[in-house]
């Protein structure tokens, strides 16, 4: 060491022996310029700088600045050391007070971590896992004790004092014996309780409370208004102060009357048969318009349909309200009855498809007038029972429409408990008017000038309505004219499947009309659905013949009309030999059945025209069929 000291100059040797060399400064450069002589650091500065992160050495200074300094006196060196110590302390305090800044070293560390596929080191303050704990070191913390109810006792220095999450849920009790499966709550019955503070949701129609007002105006029923004539509606509109009545149609006038009555605080009621649309909501259609959509239809929300388990064809009645802003239709406010019964009983009804079908056992007697030979012959040749599925096979101009009218009038007269519906598809408008005036029954029509979509919509509404009535143990009879034209409408609307039968009939188009016709059945210990439909033959269309062949084996009763008989002006033009009913022994008395067999044997092989003339001649001599059958003896013609 002495040798090294001797070799050094005097200034350097004195400085090294007088005090140790100061460590290299870290951080930013000081603002004040000091002498480049090495200075000693105090113990406090060394302790503060020891915890600082590693910072690279500053860049090399020029050669001129790196020259060996000239040794300074001892008092000057002490003054410079004190100044340097104060500046260093000030810089360290500034760095500790400022937020951590990104340094080139950290950038290089992040870039190298990303290149190696590793996560970059976290910046800033280390994350705390639990914000509710105090700031004491983990090794100094005391373990929390558990209370009797299973909740942790809060710490003394916790920011959220006496905080217990379960205290915010008044209905929840602490769950004991927690083994991985939640125990059922005591007050939980499977249904959510309504939220008290949830005010953003608009109440549903059946829960919305209308403002209570004094009902000054009269109570109107929309169904009664639809049945009135235009003259009666015009008088009511004039009394309510409606202007321009002459330019309004019936549907619009009914809506205006209801709105004017609502302004006078009058109650409104409505009813109709429900049609559920694919979107989930539905409308109440009116039989007065043959279930045609119109502006006075009543809207039912999806929640109401789900609540009461409603289906297409249900008869709904209740209180309605006028359309609100941006609404087009009247809305059902409160459902008061479903199918003329309590709404609560709807869920107890057995669905139609779950009922057990059986052969008809109760007969529908058609004989009522001695001069009405058509119904008397039908009673003898093809007896009809409740739940019958019958076809009237008719060429053109054989009197099928007149025969349907007589059958309908006989059913109405002899069986008033039966609900009778006459469905006319693709018929002439004058025949629809004649049917409505001739028969006291509900007539639903879709004339030939209507589109196929209209034919299908009317037919589906009628059959669904009949199913709902059968579910309530009622007897329903549908007289359809004709099923051939209904099948044509379904074939027109059926998407092309690539499988075309003879005559241009799609292979899948006849499924829906078969489902319509197949709904006719007798239900054990329930109601019944009877369908008597006409099928057209000998029209010159191969499609009509194919449709008849498809339906030929589906019915359990067939009544054939003969063109040769009608050409001779013999009515009814019935071909007795081809007509018949399956399981007729369930409808006829054994003695009556034997007499009918004698009649059939007598006219077997006789041409249809001569056989009908013979039968009509014998029936004119007696007033009832029983008297006629008593005159028949085995072996007599």
Helices then strands, counting H and E runs in the chain, come out as 20, 15
Residue (of 403, 443, 402, 407) closest to 425 by Cα position? 443
Taking 3-state DSSP, the helix, strand and coil percentages for the chain, each rounded to the nearest 5, stand at 40, 15, 50
Was 241 annotated as part of a binding site? no
Report how far residue 479's alpha carbon sits from residue 422's, in angstroms, rounded to the nearest whole number: 5
Q: Would the annotation count 376 as a binding residue?
A: no
Query: Is 389 among the annotated ligand-binding positions?
Result: yes
Distance CA 254, CA 168 (A): 56
**Has 386 been labeled as part of a binding site?**
yes
* Residue 90 preceded by cis peptide, ω within 30: no
Kindly tell me the burial class for residue 463, based on how many C-beta atoms sit within 10 Å of its own C-beta (0-12, 13-18, 19 or more).
Answer: buried
Instruction: Kindly give the pairing relationship between strand 298-300 and strand 528-536.
Output: unpaired
Is 399 marked as a binding-site residue?
A: yes
Q: Is 390 annotated as a binding residue?
A: yes
Is 381 annotated in a binding site? The answer is: no
Please tell me whether 304 is known to bind a ligand.
no
Residue 398 in marked binding region: yes
- The reply to whether 623 sits in an annotated binding site is no
Rounded (5°) CA angle 515-518-524: 130
Non-local (6+) Cβ contacts of 196 within 8 A are none
The annotation status of 388 as a binding-site residue, yes or no, is yes
Q: Which residue's structure tokens are 């429409």?
A: 401
What gap in Å lies between CA 141 and CA 592, rounded to an integer?
105
Q: Scan for tokens 């998407």, then name that residue.
A: 495
**Is 272 annotated in some ligand binding site?**
no
The annotation status of 400 as a binding-site residue, yes or no, is yes
Separation of alpha carbons 412 and 390, rounded Å: 18
Q: Report the length, in residues, of the chain.
A: 637
Cα–Cα dist 563/241, whole Å: 60
What residue numbers does the annotated binding site cover?
385-390, 397-402, 428
What residue numbers does the annotated binding site for ATP cover?
385-390, 397-402, 428
């Amino acid at each position: 060491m002495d040798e090294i000291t001797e070799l050094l100059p005097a200034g350097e040797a004195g400085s090294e022996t007088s005090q140790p060399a100061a460590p290299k400064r870290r951080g930013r450069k000081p603002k004040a310029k000091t002498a480049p002589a090495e200075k000693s650091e105090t113990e406090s500065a060394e302790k503060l700088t020891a915890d600082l992160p590693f910072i690279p050495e500053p860049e090399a200074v020029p050669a001129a600045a790196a020259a060996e300094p000239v040794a300074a006196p001892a008092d000057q060196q002490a003054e410079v050391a004190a100044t340097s110590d104060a500046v260093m302390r000030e810089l360290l305090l500034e760095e500790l007070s400022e937020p951590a800044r990104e340094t080139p070293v950290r950038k290089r560390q992040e870039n190298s971590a990303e290149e190696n596929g590793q996560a970059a080191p976290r910046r800033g303050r280390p994350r705390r896992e639990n914000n509710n704990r105090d700031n004491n070191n983990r090794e100094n913390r005391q373990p929390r004790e558990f209370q009797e109810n299973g909740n942790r006792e809060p710490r003394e220095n916790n920011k959220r004092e006496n905080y217990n999450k379960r205290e915010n849920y008044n209905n929840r009790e602490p769950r004991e014996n927690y083994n991985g499966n939640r125990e059922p709550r005591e007050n939980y019955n499977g249904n959510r309780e309504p939220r008290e503070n949830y005010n953003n949701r608009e109440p549903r129609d059946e829960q919305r409370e209308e403002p209570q007002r004094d009902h000054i105006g009269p109570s109107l029923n929309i169904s009664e208004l639809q049945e009135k004539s235009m003259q009666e509606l015009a008088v009511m509109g004039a009394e309510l102060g409606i202007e321009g009545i002459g330019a309004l149609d019936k549907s619009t006038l009914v809506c205006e009357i209801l709105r004017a009555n609502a302004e006078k605080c009058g109650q409104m009621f409505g009813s109709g048969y429900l049609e559920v649309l694919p979107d989930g909501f539905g409308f109440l259609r009116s039989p007065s318009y043959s279930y045609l959509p119109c502006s006075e239809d009543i809207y039912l929300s999806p929640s109401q349909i789900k609540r009461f388990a409603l289906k297409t064809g249900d008869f709904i009645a209740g209180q309605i309200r006028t359309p609100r802003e941006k609404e087009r239709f009247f809305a059902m406010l409160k459902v008061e009855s479903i199918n003329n019964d309590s709404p609560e009983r709807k869920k107890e009804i057995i669905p139609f498809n779950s009922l057990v079908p059986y052969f008809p056992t109760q007969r529908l007697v058609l004989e009522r007038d001695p001069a009405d030979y058509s119904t008397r012959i039908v009673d003898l040749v093809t007896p009809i029972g409740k739940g019958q599925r019958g076809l009237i096979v008719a060429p053109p101009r054989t009197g099928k429409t007149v025969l349907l009218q007589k059958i309908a009038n006989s059913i109405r007269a002899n069986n008033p408990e039966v609900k009778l519906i006459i469905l006319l598809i693709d018929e002439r408008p004058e025949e629809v008017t004649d049917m409505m005036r001739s028969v006291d029954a509900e007539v639903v029509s879709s004339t030939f000038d209507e589109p196929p979509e209209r034919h299908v919509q009317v037919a589906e509404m009628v059959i669904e309505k009949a199913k709902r009535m059968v579910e309530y143990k009622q007897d329903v009879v549908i007289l359809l004219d004709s099923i051939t034209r209904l099948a044509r409408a379904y074939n027109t609307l059926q998407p092309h499947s690539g499988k075309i039968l003879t005559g241009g009939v799609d292979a899948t188009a006849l499924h829906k009309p078969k489902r319509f016709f197949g709904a006719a059945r007798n239900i054990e210990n329930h109601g019944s659905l009877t369908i008597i439909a006409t099928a057209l033959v000998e029209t010159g269309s191969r499609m009509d013949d194919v449709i008849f062949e498809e339906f030929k084996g589906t019915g359990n009763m067939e009544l054939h009309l003969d063109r040769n008989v009608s050409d001779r002006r013999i009515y009814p033009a019935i071909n007795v030999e081809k007509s018949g009913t399956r399981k007729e022994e369930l409808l006829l008395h054994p003695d009556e059945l034997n007499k009918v067999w004698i009649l059939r044997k007598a006219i077997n092989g006789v041409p249809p025209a001569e056989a009908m003339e013979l039968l009509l001649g014998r029936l004119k001599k007696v007033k009832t069929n029983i008297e006629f059958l008593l005159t028949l003896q085995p072996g007599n013609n």
